[in-house]
């Protein structure tokens, strides 16, 4: 399954959760719901995956934890905030680079319409286009 197919399933899953429960819950609740729903849809999902950072020969074992990684191809960062800050997409892009992945989804459930809370972040766009 390619990244775009995975992202469609992820966004559809997030949409369904948002329709059923709406905004206002904690990020951890949406993350857990996404985890279980994506597993139920037959996807391989890992949660709170620690990805090490190697800098000048030094390894930081706990540099960051990705909320969800689906099929070892797509990172999903779950938010439930009043407003996405400029740093949030930058964080996802950094996560993608460190994990050597190409597609990330930043999903803010604290919106009236979920379509306004979904941001796609792409690492190495040229390579991504060639692989799709």
For residue range 68-98, what is the model confidence (pLDDT) as tens digits? 999 999 999 999 999 999 999 999 999 999 8
Judge whether 64 and 93 are in contact, CB under 8 Å.
Answer: no
* pLDDT, average across residues 8-34: 97
Domain boundaries, the chain: 3-131
HSE-up (13 A, CA, CB side) for residue 59 = 4
Question: Is the pTM here over 0.85, yes or no?
Answer: yes
HSE-up (13 A, CA, CB side) for residue 38 = 28
pLDDT: which is higher, 127 or 119 = 119
C-alpha distance across the termini of the chain, in Å: 10
HSE-up (13 A, CA, CB side) for residue 13 = 25
State how beta strands 118-122 and 74-79 pair: unpaired
* pLDDT, average across residues 52-59: 84
CA-CA distance, 115 to 91, in Å (whole number)? 20
pLDDT category at 131 given cuts 50, 70, 90 is very low
């Amino acid at each position: 399954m390619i990244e775009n197919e995975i992202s469609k399933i992820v966004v559809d899953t997030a949409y369904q959760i948002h329709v059923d429960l709406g905004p206002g819950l904690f990020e951890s609740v949406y993350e857990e719901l996404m985890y279980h729903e994506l597993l139920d849809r037959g996807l391989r999902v890992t949660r709170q995956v620690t990805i090490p950072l190697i800098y000048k020969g030094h390894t930081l074992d706990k540099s960051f934890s990705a909320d969800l990684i689906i099929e070892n191809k797509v990172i999903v960062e779950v938010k439930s905030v009043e407003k996405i800050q400029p740093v949030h997409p930058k964080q996802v892009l950094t996560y993608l680079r460190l994990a050597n992945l190409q597609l990330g989804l930043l999903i803010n459930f604290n919106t009236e319409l979920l379509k306004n809370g979904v941001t796609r972040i792409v690492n190495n766009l040229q390579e991504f286009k060639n692989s799709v």
